Amino acid sequence: MDRKKTTEFLGSLLASDRLSGAGKYWAKEVSIDPWAAKGTPKRVDYMQFVPDRQLSVSDIEKGIFVCYEIKSCKQDVYSGNGLNFLGEKNYIVTTMECYKDLLQDFRDGTFARHLHEAAPESSSHFGIMVAIPFMSEMTDEFENPTKIDCENVQWKLAVIQKCVPGLRKRPMTELLFCMLRSGH
């Protein structure tokens, strides 16, 4: 499967597996600072707002933002596009093959250096989700990844590296407005 189709597959899987249902507030292709000087506008592939509860204003104000960046392959990760981790939680959503290709870069600091250089505003608080077949275990998939173009396979997202929440630098009203403005 080519990069474009893999990206579409992962985006659809994220929307159906993690973002759909009652009480889910999310947007895709969220532009942040779209009129800023060249090089500083950002776009988050998917952004979700998760209120603490929905019973009072203070419950809503305690909500957090989760940013998701869809990455189809290692070249996509290092392309210079995306990796805009602006939420309290942030995830790279990818395939098991891509995760395995990047594992050494995560361990030796190559990815951390790239993130700091390519997206200095991004949080270093991120996790990784991978697509795996519905009834599979992550360890089995790590050893022998299923190709995502296999027919008759139901997929799910599994957190292979948990995100430890960090602090958000942008105000809630700004991010909610950006989500609303995205129109998705």
Tens-level pLDDT at each residue, the chain (184 residues): 789 999 999 999 999 999 988 888 999 999 998 776 655 778 999 999 998 877 778 888 888 999 999 999 999 999 888 899 999 999 999 999 999 999 999 999 999 999 999 998 899 999 999 999 999 999 999 999 988 887 888 999 999 999 999 999 999 999 999 999 997 6
- 3-state SS class at 144: coil
128 and 94 Cβ atoms separated by less than 8 Å: yes
CA 154 to each of CA 96, 98, 131, 134, 138: distance values in angstroms, whole numbers, following the listed order: 15, 19, 10, 5, 15
Give pLDDT, residue 22: 81
Q: Which pLDDT does position 59 carry in this prediction?
A: 80
Per the structure, the complete domain to which residue 178 belongs is given by 3-182
Q: Using alpha carbons, select from 183, 177, 144 the residue that is nearest to residue 65.
A: 177
Strands 127-133 and 42-50, bridge-based pairing = unpaired
- Residue 124's pLDDT is 93
Q: What's the pLDDT score for residue 56?
A: 74
Query: Are 35 and 144 contacting, i.e. CB atoms less than 8 angstroms apart?
Result: no
**What is the pLDDT at residue 150?**
79
Which tokens belong to 164? 């430890």
- pLDDT at position 37, please? 64
Task: Check if the beta carbon of residue 28 is closer than 8 Å to that of residue 45.
Answer: yes
Q: Is the pTM of this model over 0.85?
A: yes
Retrieve residue 151's tokens. 């027919």
Q: Report the domain count for the chain.
A: 1
